[in-house]
Structure 1
Amino acid sequence: MMNKPTLLILAAGMASRYGSLKQIDSFGPHGETIIDYSIYDAIKAGFGKVVFIIREEFLEKMREVFDEKLRGKIEVDYAFQSYDLTKFGIDRIIERSKPWGTAHAVMSARDKVNEPFCVINADDFYGTDAFVKMAQFLTTDVADDKMALMGFQVGNTMSDYGYVSRGVCEVDENGHMKSVTERTNIYYTDDDQGNRKIVYEENGVKHDLDPKTRVSMNFWGFTPKIFDVAAGMFQDFVASNADNPKSEFFIPTVPDYMVKRGMADFKVIPTSSKWFGVTYKEDKAMVQQSISALLAEGAYPEKLF
């Protein structure tokens, strides 16, 4: 019997665009967080453990919110994303006001995870279908040279209130990722006829993006092999970006590196789930409405735990 997969939740972000600690903001009728819905889906899909990656100063607050209600339902643990780089073999001190990005956050959980695992964002609602498909992959197909990401259509992942960041995927005819590129400035705009379209901006130039383009919403299926690969890349990244306080080591750069060097295949698992999330404070009402609609159709019980 294979170990049950683990769910790794990225919850250390600063929430600078949102304006408060959105990881524990309430969206459901009984104060449920978005994370609660993800964990509920994960438990039903067969995950055995959840590890929250947080900043250490959030620990008490997170325990208050999650420990009691999850007791007996799923194993819970915490890992800390910090500015201390010594545990990654880097002995220099670099002053920064924000952490080193999502791939660095994943590396912070190295001592907590020994089995196949899935990575998700704390503030994104992914839907049941995505967790069922990822649990299936992580218990039957995953290997050190065979990992996965959940492929959402970019048109289903936009905010009406500003720009979003997405890992834009190039997918081959077999459904495997050829490349994934982090685009940090994707937004709606109007074309010459006044029709709404999606673009990403890079170096001041706008590029059209087909709404059906598969993107990564940081919903990845990995083995612990990823920690070793990321650690080597991170040392190079820090050496190159020590003087750039805004540089971030994003998760998609690691799979992209592995694919381009023939180290692993990444299956892009298509999902019918409609993603929604809270990048901006104004997104909150839409997320609450979406959750209410799912409750009305019976997708979730009114009280989760």
Structure 2
Amino acid sequence: MITRLLDPVKDRTAYTEAATLLRAGEVVGMPTETVYGLAANALDGKAVAKIFAAKGRPQDNPLIVHIADQKQMYDLARTVPESVEKLASRFWPGPLTMILPKADCIPDEVSAGLDTVGIRLPSHPVAQELIREAGVPLAAPSANTSGRPSTTTSSHVMEDLGGKIPAILEGGPCTVGVESTVVSLAGDKPRLLRPGGISLEQLREVLGEVEVDRALREKIGDDVRVSAPGMKYRHYAPKAPVTVVCGDPERTAAYITRHAGLDAGIICFSECAFQFEMHERRVIGSSDDVQTQARRIFDALRAFDDTNVREIWAQCPDDKGLGLAVANRLKKAAGFHVINVV
């Protein structure tokens, strides 16, 4: 299969071509503000199954449904509590996914057999236009080979899925760089299932107390059923094993300097980069610039696969604001192999 790159800036018929493929039951790589997604008609179970086949994704890992109009949510969810309206008015369109009781139209392939579904209204104009042109909501996990770092450019998607899918819709580099925040509103209390572009602190400003799922802090067993992507399996991982070092940037840099071999790759803050001139390194921004860290983290993880490094050491931001999402992605990439330096 030849994978075509469709650029709507150069040719507006790109939307029509991508939408036609989606209506015909095919999959298409599409940009969002968070990461690139691999999209299929969310109401067509056979089409959604092609997502899992292309990615090599476990069947019990649920997908997020993307919409272009908030009104579509009422067709996809069985009930919509007041808290949803509050969050939508504040954060939609944007990097927030809400888990709700699913309507009968959602196939089991999307929900992994659960009675809930994740719904999101992305802010990326190309994603919105594609959903409108297709005329159906789109199920879309990250457009990468399952387990690898997520894709934030069309070239990343082509690297992982070229020859496996018919088309990728160009949308430029992703501006957020980590996946959407996932919050469950299907239980008695709101629960954060995955940190992302909307912080835990922002959620609590709207909802009050929000519980934090243990999957954010530790690896959970393979026998546990999860209601959001990114909670269970090894994710975001490059080929070389990763060790994450948490704590004060100066101290973590000193620790890595003492313990990293010459064949190690280093993910570091800009103010510490000079200490790793002898290593293959990727600078993700200053320690207090989590927005830049979020945009660069997946590119940094993916870049080491093209080198000869045998191990990767990573400085980790604290868990405040967007830093929680960056730290979560790093720890997941490391399989929660984390060292805390005090």
TM-score normalised per structure 1: 0.30
Select the structure with the greater relative contact order (CA < 8 A; seq sep ≥ 6): 1
Q: As a proportion of its length, which structure holds more strand?
A: 1
Larger gyration radius, structure 1 or structure 2: 2
